[in-house]
Amino acid sequence: MAKKVTGWLSSVVLVLVLYLFLWPVPIDPIAWKPHPAPGLEGDFAENRVLQGMEFFATPNSHGPEDVAVDAEGRIYVGVEEGQILRYAADGSDPQVFADTGGRPLGLDFDNDGNLIVADAFKGLLSIGPSGSIKVLCTEAGYHPFRLTDDVDVDSQNVAWFSDASYRWGVGNHGMEEVFESAPNGRLLKYDIRTGECSVVLDELVFANGIAVSPDETYVLVNETMRYRVKRVYVRGPRKGDVDVFIDNLPGFPDGISSGADGIFWLAIFAPRNALLDRAGPSPWLRKLIYRIPAALQPKPERHPFVLGLDASGKVVHNLQDADGVEFSKSTSAEQAGDWLYIGSLTEPNWGRIRISSLP
């Protein structure tokens, strides 16, 4: 009897090993070696400043990934259920402004008062003041958009936006792109005046947040799976140059925006994960992690995190909530007046905090 049990257990173990190491998976991971994580110290020292946020619920919905404020001070958020919710300037009276039927992520207003939306499923959209929806573009450079992510509109009515991946969509919350960690992302632009849509920079690793510089000579684009922000010069004498604005961040950079006084507000989704860093140089290990049940895969910490960066990429504000009880998965930080609005990919609310109250 003991021999039969031993033989059965050996067979189970063999099948499990074969599955974990040899079962086909759709991802094709790229080997890369992250810099050692900087840790939550120095410029990134752990704190609980964001516990001072004021929160506003998203009724019967969740995931207000980005926040935008119109000329009248009204507040807009896009939620997982496909709706754009609009609030009064004080955060009261939430109403459905529009329903894209997709997953609205990045939001920004153009010069004519239309809300430009990066919708993960529908592409780049324009929503008029009455809530009418127009599709602006869904593909560029021989690839359809699979995960249209963030958008920032400049004074010339050019929408700069990201396609996080032309290979993977959001069916598994982007985890294929996380484990593959390949250069499938792109920075794009859409000229609202002419209707021209084009690729500005490709081979980005999970292209995410977008911010146009105050003088509009360069655009910042986050590479989430490389823990960095790239700077792409789009006008002026350095047009065409690309460099790294800030590197080796302590977490996964998500949204970024231009604020007052030349400050860029960078939302960090969560602190870095030691297992994912360790698996960076080992594609086989990332395939193994992908094969295990989702419940056992690495999970982001509940730790909202926002950095304020000056024009040289230096940290001038460090806002966190290391406890993460009320809020997590910070995906955007947008300044309007004295308020900093913060969105989340998954929470049933969004928050704001007065900039004048920051330490």
pLDDT tens digits, one per residue of 233-280: 999 999 999 999 999 999 999 999 999 889 999 999 999 999 999 999
Question: In the chain, pLDDT over 70 holds for what percent of residues?
Answer: 92
Q: What is the mean pLDDT of residues 215-233?
A: 98
Show Cβ contacts of residue 323 under 8 Å, excluding neighbours closer than 6 positions. 48, 51, 302
Tokens 């991971």 belong to: 29
Question: What token pair was written down for 161?
Answer: 């936006």
Q: Is the pLDDT reported for residue 21 higher than 90?
A: no
Q: Which CATH class is domain 43-357?
A: mainly beta
Domain boundaries, the chain: 43-357
Pick from 21-30, 162-171, 181-190 the range whose average pLDDT is largest. Answer: 181-190
Q: Is the pLDDT reported for residue 306 higher than 80?
A: yes
pLDDT of 175: 82
Quick one: pLDDT band at residue 8, thresholds 50, 70, 90? low
pLDDT of 191: 98
Q: Is the pLDDT reported for residue 51 higher than 60?
A: yes
pTM: 0.94
Q: Is the pLDDT reported for residue 75 higher than 90?
A: yes
State the CB neighbour count (10 A cutoff) for residue 104: 33
pLDDT of 295: 87
Note whether 189 and 180 are within 8 A (CB): no
State the CB neighbour count (10 A cutoff) for residue 316: 14
pLDDT of 262: 93
Angle at 291 between CA 286 and CA 295, to 5 degrees: 100
Q: What is the mean pLDDT of residues 158-163?
A: 98
Question: What token pair was written down for 307?
Answer: 């950095």
